[in-house]
Amino acid sequence: MPSAFSVSSFPVSIPAVIMQTDWTEPWLLGLAAFHVLCLLLTCFSSRRHQLQVGHFLCLVILVYSAEYINEVAAMNWRLFSKYQYFDSRGMFISLVFSAPLLLNAMVIVILWVRKTLNVMTDLKNLQEKIKDRKRRRKEE
């Protein structure tokens, strides 16, 4: 069966890539499972700051390495895939590999911002309590 991803006619839009991808390939199912596991780790590590920092750094390093991964996958696609998905522009790997990792990293950043805002609110409340106690002592 000829590949929908021939070198001369590689899809240039996100919907085209999504529609022309054979999502039943085992390696793509494994990649989807990897992304689900990363998201679960993000959710369950929200209370463990050091683990989440390590997870975040791993996500960023993987995204940074996507170009190299794309080159290696383009040279060796016959070993694991039916079709050559890996083009020189990196559209496919950006869509199925980097974008979910970046979304996951964005969730972590949002959790960090929320935690920072909560800590700042708690600190301000504590400062107000201390200020109130000092004012009461002066009045007595």
**Across residues 121-139, what is the average pLDDT?**
92
Q: Which three-class secondary structure string do you get for 69-119?
A: HHHHHHHHHHHCCCCCCCCCCCHHHHHHHHHHHHHHHHHHHHHHHHHHHHH
pLDDT at 140 over 80: no
Q: What is the value of pTM for the model shown?
A: 0.81
**Across residues 113-140, what is the average pLDDT?**
93
Distance, in Å, from the CA atom of 69 to the CA atom of 26, rounded to the nearest integer, reads 18
Chain-wide mean pLDDT for the chain?
Answer: 89
Cα torsion at 85, 4, 83, 18 (round to 10°)? 50
Q: Give pLDDT, residue 7.
A: 45
Terminal CA-CA length for the chain: 89
